[in-house]
Each structure stands twice: as C-alpha cells, then as structure tokens.
Structure 1
Amino acid sequence: MADDERWVGRLLVATPRLEHPTFRRTVILLLDHADGGAFGVVVNRPLEVDVAAVLPAWQPWVSAPRYLFQGGPVGLDSALGVVAVPSAPGGRTPVGVDRVVASFGLLDLDLEPADVVAQVPDLRIFAGYAGWSAGQLEEEVAEGSWWVLDARPEDPFAADPQELWHRVLRRQPSDLALYSTWPDDLTLN
C-alpha cells in the first residue's frame, strides 16, 4: 500500500449499511493503517463510567464528558490515551506522547499526569480499540460499510460525542451531507 493510500488520522464513519450494534453509527479515529492491518478508536461512544474507576490520577485531566470511552470491541481490558498535540515551536512532540499525525497522538498513561497535562490541551481515555487484519478495512470500505473522511482536531474530543456521526456528515460538501438526516429507524419514516 502506498503511503498516500493510508488513512492514519482520518475518520471512519459508519454508513447506514453497517447495522451491527458494535459499529452502528460509529465514528472511528484511525490511529494506524499499514500493510499488516489497521486500528483506531471509536470516538463517539462514552461509557457512563468515570475514568477514575480505572485510572484515578487522570480523571481531573480528561476532556468533558469526563467518562471512559469504549474504543472498540478488542482489548477492552486495555486503556489508550488519545491527546490533541498542539503545534509547538520546532515541531517538538510533548514528552510521553507518540504523535500519530500532526493533530493527534497516543499518550503513555504510565506517566504521572503532572509531567504531561500542561503540554496537551485535550485528553480522552478509551477502553479497547477497533482493529482490522491486512486488507480487511479496505474490503469493508469497498463494500460500502465505511466512509473515510477528514478529521478535524476537535473531533476526538467533542463535548457532545453522541452527535459526532451527524455533525461529521453534515459538514461534508457533497451529497454525503444528506445522510446526516438519515432516520434511526426507516420503518418510522
């Protein structure tokens, strides 16, 4: 796969065709996409569980809503910290952050929050992730299960994440914006 075909840092937005409850109307921030597969986190599925239940030291620093998010169906016993990475003089990446793309990075949650929080404006913690084996994601996109769309820096940290699916579609410059009004249940239309 050529570098320009990789979708790291972009959003996977579930099409109405994807009806399985695990991914229905999800928005996924793609954190890695290579020949061996891909992985990302669902950014619009907050759990009604405080981060303090698993990582108490990080609770005061997570972006609102201050809940743990279900990042996907894989590795639910693991936690991933996603942060906004501000533009810094000289392009330096904050300590403890692995920059994924210009705007986003993965945070080492084993660090002390005091060593990091002053350097990152937004933080969200995810339980688990979504993953695809080699070629699987490309097949799902080709069959019409996902739209691959540009992410805005604020998308993974939206204060109203349940509305992200609608909002991302609504801002599209094409007929894709019409899907933002797609009813939850077509039989009620």
Structure 2
Amino acid sequence: MEPLSLADQFLIAMPNMADPLFAHALVYVCEHGEHGAMGVIVNKPSGIALAQLFEQIGLSISDEQAGLPVYFGGPVHPDRGFVLHTPVGSWQSSLLVTDDVALTTSKDVLTAVSKGEGPDTLLVSLGYAGWESGQLEEEISQNAWLTVPARPEIIFGHAPEERYDAAVALLGFDPSLLSGEVGHA
C-alpha cells in the first residue's frame, strides 16, 4: 500500500495549537513523502508589502501589486522567498504541486512579475513550514491539525483573514465547534 500524501491539502491548525507561530494557521502542503513535508502558511501577512520586498531585491513593481502583502510562510528559511502561483509556467526552480499550482523559489518569477509577465495569481511568502519524516503524521494523530483537500480559490480568491474559516467550511461544519480536546473511547 502506497503511503498517503498530503500534498495539495490544507492543514488547519486546531484551537489548541501550542506553537504560537502556527496558532490559527492555514498551511498549504506543497510536498509530502517519505522524507517529510513542506508547505506554506497562506493566512498570515508579515506586515511587509510586496513593494518593500521588490525594492530590497532591486526590482520595480506595478502600483496595482505594490500593496499586496508578503506572507509569513513558516519558520524555516525566513530569509528566503517562496512564490506560490498559478498557472505553473516554466520558471528555473519550481515544485509542481498540481497541474495548476506551483511553488517557485528562483528570482526569475519575481523578475517576470516586475515586467508584468509573471503568473496571473501569486502569493509571496518568506519562509516555509517543514516537518521531518513522520513528524506531521504524529502531529495529526495528536489532534494538532485537520486536513482537507485544498482549493486554490481559497488561497488566491479570499482575503487572508477569511481563508482559515473558508478551509474549515470545506469540512462541512461551523469552525466555532472545533475543540482542541482529543476524545478517548
């Protein structure tokens, strides 16, 4: 039996999440396999605007995109940029999550955005969330996360503060009913 992959799934932090970096977090899982998992937190703006980031790397940006937020993608490599985008395109260093969504780490995608030739829709983050082999599965078994198949329209079509509840709604119940307590038979 092939192990279950959580790639292209949302991880929804349970209310009892002890780690403040992940409290009320919605993580889009980009890769999950025998070596571990990695994803990007998609609902926590960092307080940095895209214009500030582009200025730091010597690129210009359209007024339309200048005010877009840069997200806190997670605590791993918070000094590196990660661009979650659709369509996938053909960038130098991309991880294809689905046929429609990719995560790119090379500067060429940002250069293209600067020229108005980048992906139609994107989310730029600093850092990512990562788990060693078996770590994410253990956290899920301890009731730290719920999982649900991801929908790109939640990432790219909802305001950051709406994404968590929109992902919970995919599960079919009211988010206020979530409890951090684990039941025992």
TM-score normalised per structure 1? 0.79
In structure 2, C-alpha distance between the alignment counterparts of 1:154 and 1:55, rounded to whole Å: 25
Q: In the alignment, which residue of structure 1 is the partner of 2:156?
A: 157
In structure 1, C-alpha distance between the alignment counterparts of 2:142 and 2:53, rounded to whole Å: 37
In structure 1, C-alpha distance between the alignment counterparts of 2:104 and 2:64, rounded to whole Å: 12
The answer on 1:2 being equivalent to 2:2 is yes
What's the CA shift string for 1:73-106, capped at 9, x where partnerless? 1111111011022xxxxxxx52215422123102
In structure 2, C-alpha distance between the alignment counterparts of 1:116 and 1:34, rounded to whole Å: 36
Q: In the alignment, which residue of structure 2 is the partner of 1:37?
A: 36
TM-score normalised per structure 2? 0.80
Q: CA, structure 1 residues 172+76, in 2 after alignment: closer, same or farther (shift >3 Å)?
A: same
Unaligned runs of 5+ in 1: 86-92, 184-189
Tell me how many residue pairs correspond in the alignment. Answer: 171
Q: Which amino acid aligns with 1:99?
A: L
Q: CA, structure 1 residues 68+95, in 2 after alignment: closer, same or farther (shift >3 Å)?
A: same
Q: In the alignment, which residue of structure 2 is the partner of 1:167?
A: 166
Query: Bigger shift: 103-112 or 145-154?
Result: 103-112
Compute the RMSD of aligned alpha carbons.
2.7
Query: Secondary structure, in 3 states, of the residue corresponding to 1:20?
Result: coil
Q: Return the match for 1:72 from 64, 71, 74.
A: 74
In structure 2, C-alpha distance between the alignment counterparts of 1:122 and 1:84, rounded to whole Å: 5
In structure 1, C-alpha distance between the alignment counterparts of 2:67 and 2:154, rounded to whole Å: 13
Query: Secondary structure, in 3 states, of the residue corresponding to 1:55?
Result: helix
In structure 2, C-alpha distance between the alignment counterparts of 1:95 and 1:10, rounded to whole Å: 23
Unaligned runs of 5+ in 2: 179-185
Q: Which amino acid aligns with 2:86?
A: A
Q: CA, structure 1 residues 159+58, in 2 after alignment: closer, same or farther (shift >3 Å)?
A: farther
In structure 2, C-alpha distance between the alignment counterparts of 1:61 and 1:134, rounded to whole Å: 42
Query: Secondary structure, in 3 states, of the residue corresponding to 2:103?
Result: strand
| Cα shift at 1:117 | 5.3
In structure 1, C-alpha distance between the alignment counterparts of 2:159 and 2:66, rounded to whole Å: 8
Q: In the alignment, which residue of structure 1 is the partner of 2:99?
A: 102
